[in-house]
């Protein structure tokens, strides 16, 4: 059955080509947004586009969209929807892998440990996903405020001394930040992750890194096994030696595009799964590398985002006063590669738990 369509015309490849172009375009857009996320010029372009759209889209739709976005990204009570979506996508990928790829690979006598590796990674991933969701990221309260103030030094640039949170009315330890979604101050705040419905902070960053690592490895493993199955079919059937008729009625040797098109017609769900997990693997691998870079240099996402800002110490505006002195944030918390990793996986202060009142 999988050999059907061998002599289809080359014009039937258009759909697959457009689909691959779409996936490539989506990947490039995401990467460009990640790279230029701190660019003021890009922000100006986005704001300009939003203003143009606001002149075209009716006000009622704009209000509905703002309400929905606020509920999705600024209200923690609504965020379990992202957890459900996360688990649903993961379940669909593994269901397709089990029903299609695993069965075919088992018939082709692939190594059983290799076929079971995605399930092992899934088990570990779900454990650390749960830990990331359920663990207190480092909520600052009156009970532990004094203790956390002593953990990190203040640099008087990004984290000035004696500053207070305008919402919590608590003194802000260095490297902390108030999360608007969770409505709490978090110690060593990294970012708020909607996929786990929790902040990533001092006490759950280690779980988040392992969760991200196993998720990336699982996606990559499924991609490799799916690709290996398709390549095995091409090899054993000598499909690469076949020919097809082009639009002018001439026989052409099967090339890579034709082989992919043929496999897509024979196994559409497996090829679609392969394209999806490849893109997912690349995105997750890029984000994992970024997260590991932050861990190795003892930075948080919040600090990295603000790191290239230039801060100014305001001098009194009096006659003859010196001009403003520019100050650039410098990372004073790095203790070397192994020291930085130890701080994440073995927090420096063991008595982080809140004091009983």
Residue 193 known to be catalytic: yes
Burial of 322 (0-12, 13-18, 19+ CB in 10 A): exposed
In a 10 Å sphere around its CB, with 0-12 CB exposed, 13-18 middle and 19+ buried, how is residue 201 labelled?
buried
Strands 191-193 and 198-200: antiparallel
Cβ atoms of residues 255 and 17 within 8 Å: no
**Residues 83/133, Cβ–Cβ less than 8 Å:** yes
* Residue pair 301/294 in contact by the 8 Å Cβ criterion: yes
Chain centroid, CA 27 distance in Å: 13
C-alpha–C-alpha distance, residues 327 and 158, integer Å: 10
| Cα torsion angle, 170, 173, 177, 179, sign | negative
Q: What is the rounded CA–CA span in Å between residue 266 and residue 269? A: 9
For residue 59, count other CB atoms closer than 10 A to its CB. 8
Tell me the C-alpha to C-alpha distance, in Å, between residue 282 and each of 83, 87, 146, 195, 306: 21, 19, 42, 18, 26
Gap between the Cα atoms of 262 and 2, Å rounded? 8
Of 105, 133, 185, 193, catalytic? 193
Q: How far apart are CA 355 and CA 145, in angstroms?
A: 10
Say how far apart CA 173 and CA 150 lie, in whole Å.
Answer: 8
Grouping H, G, I as helix, E, B as strand and the rest as coil, residue 326 is strand
In 10 A of CB 172, how many CB atoms?
24
- Greatest CA separation for the chain: 88
Which residues does the annotation mark as catalytic?
Answer: 193
């Amino acid at each position: 059955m999988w050999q059907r369509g061998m002599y289809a015309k080359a014009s039937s490849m258009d759909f697959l080509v457009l689909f691959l172009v779409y996936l490539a375009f989506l990947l490039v857009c995401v990467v460009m947004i990640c790279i230029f996320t701190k660019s003021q010029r890009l922000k100006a372009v986005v704001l300009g586009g939003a203003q143009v759209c606001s002149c075209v889209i009716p006000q009622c739709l704009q209000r509905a969209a703002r309400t929905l976005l606020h509920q999705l990204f600024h209200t923690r009570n609504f965020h379990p929807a992202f957890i459900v979506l996360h688990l649903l996508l993961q379940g669909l990928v593994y269901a397709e892998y089990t029903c299609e790829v695993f069965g075919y690979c088992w018939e082709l006598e692939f190594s059983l440990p290799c076929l079971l590796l995605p399930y092992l990674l899934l088990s570990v991933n779900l454990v650390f996903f749960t830990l990331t969701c359920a663990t207190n990221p480092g909520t600052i309260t009156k009970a532990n405020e004094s203790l956390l103030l002593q953990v990190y030094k203040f640099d008087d640039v990004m984290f000035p001394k004696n500053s207070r949170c305008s919402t919590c009315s608590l003194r802000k330890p260095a490297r902390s930040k108030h999360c608007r979604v969770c409505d709490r101050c978090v110690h060593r705040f990294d970012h708020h992750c909607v996929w786990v419905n929790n902040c990533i902070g001092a006490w759950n960053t280690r779980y988040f890194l392992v969760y991200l690592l196993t998720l990336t490895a699982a996606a990559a493993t499924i991609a490799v096994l799916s690709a290996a199955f398709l390549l095995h079919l091409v090899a054993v059937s000598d499909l690469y030696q076949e020919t097809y008729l082009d639009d002018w009625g001439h026989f052409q040797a099967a090339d890579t595009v034709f082989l992919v098109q043929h496999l897509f017609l024979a196994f559409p769900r497996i090829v679609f799964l392969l394209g999806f997990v490849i893109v997912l693997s690349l995105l997750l691998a890029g984000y994992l590398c970024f997260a590991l870079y932050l861990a190795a240099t003892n930075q948080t996402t919040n600090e990295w985002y603000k790191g290239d800002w230039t801060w100014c110490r305001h001098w009194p505006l009096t006659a003859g006063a010196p001009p403003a002195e520019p100050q650039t944030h410098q990372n004073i918390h790095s203790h070397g590669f192994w020291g930085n990793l130890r701080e994440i996986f073995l927090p420096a202060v063991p008595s982080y738990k809140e004091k009983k009142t």
